Structure 1
């Protein structure tokens, strides 16, 4: 250490203009392997609604996006009501974020995989999952209420960002096997502060895995605003450090989000590697039903974002283009109400649960400890039954 300090103290950089000329050219191995300029995201969030670009959108896609947004808004309202009725233990609403949820589901092919966060039950439902199964975890009945392989939807879980490395692993494995599969992983802005986010993006870029990362930047990680999480120009700019392209999109513009995600999925499927997409959106409701959002944000801020509501933005565009009339609005609302009524009816029925199922899906072959625990529980249940 002494010799190093002595050597460092004897080397003096010339002052002023001579400094740049003095610096040696780093050897090739130190140089960036990729020109960062093409990886930089848009200067402003990409928008399609209200621009000339919307004329190129498929009318049938626009109508489908609208129906899914209306259904998603009603799903959020019904699930929130179920928490107040005690039918759900907790519900993290995506009211205001429906465009991101729906676009993520519709951008994928049937063979692809969706890796949702705990807030993304709507994305799972838009992909075709039974709403009751999507809410089973939040009801406290099962760890996962559906077969992930059947639906190509990874298990919903509450740990932050842990689904991201899983998505990379699946996508990389699919590529090694020669399967034409893309994984789309969803995360909130708070999740980008987790180590799993860094590890997932680094591995994805090095392996050129066919995976798309969608960050729903809704402004707050529970009560922590984005400015207290990162000093980056945008979360999409973080992509450059890993060697993948970043995209910045208006997360309340369903058409723009669908376009950006579709392009990223197509790029990944063709061997172009991963993409990081940041969608700027807003969580209208509280973090969950257990949160008091008034403690960290004002009503004026919420009302400002209500004017940029994803459902109203698309409805206005479709109406102005003659693609939606009163009958179309009524049909979408009735379809959504039918879904909500069925969800309400089924969630109001008490589930029949077998406590022994605790041991049924842990390992393919039960360990000695699990067999011992299962026998103990069975004995307790039998004793309770005899006593009752």
Structure 2
């Protein structure tokens, strides 16, 4: 799926494409890129959504599989390389359970402690190595509660509550603070914004929004907080406003092309992306990108499925991690060519025989590491270094060539990054 303009023609901009900009950034940061994951969602028509990933190197969304439990109104955020799905509604009742998705293995874990109360329409964000779950709706009342998750203790604990009850709020992190933005108190959409100081464990009021919004998209982008779409007292919104912490005020900026409530907003690889949402008639799959230099929103492709009540987050990964994950997804067994399992682990690429047995180190990207023992290069340096160097590395092709040609003596080490 390429990038297309509204009239359906392939986009050929005069300046750099997103992928080119991303590849330049990746080459400067050990070839790491931010992969977007859209997770969860459940509509009234029993249509369910799973896990999708957006790879900026090829401009495609790809469906990876199902979620652990189908639900809407979930909070989604990344912490320590995993993606957490918190609370939500399964179509019958609100849930307190929390699941953890591991992108490198495309698998779900149910090893996370539940939040203290069943709730939906929560907001979740990472700050200081903790996850914060804020607000929500328990089926009877909107909530003001704040819970913090410590991954080392696997425990949620109650923190100071917000000053207002909020469901369908936005939550952003800026300069070491949490910002709870808009939402609904159960009676009407809110203008109000409040800021949480984790050192003092206290919420304080901030400058209000210019437009009341619930089910908005919210993200921090280049030192400012953006609030997009949502719904006011009457209809879905396409308006956008931006908070400047220095001026301590919100200002209106260029609106999106489409109305979107329950929209996900993500800052990734130099762009601000508004993903999916509800336009008042249907749950859309379209994506819009905001270009700060041009002060303009434009169409940026589509997700494969809609994610009503789901969430989007970014994970920074190296391309070889992403590529080996793709190989494991082909048949769900983690098998590469010739029955060779491929495992990305702690900066290294391992080959694991399909029938068990010792694993073989194929690529060591740790500082100073060239091969299995850290002193000698891999057996088939040409094949492996292809995977090392190329942002679009075809690991399967390289390993197939390795199998056919057999081991060869290396003449020079791979380039260090």
* TM-score in same-fold range (> 0.5): no
More strand by share: 2
Q: Which has the larger radius of gyration?
A: 1
| Normalised TM-score (structure 2) | 0.30
Identify, as 1 or 2, the structure richer in helix: 1
TM-score (normalised: structure 1): 0.31
Q: Which structure carries more relative contact order (alpha carbon 8 Å, separation 6+)?
A: 1
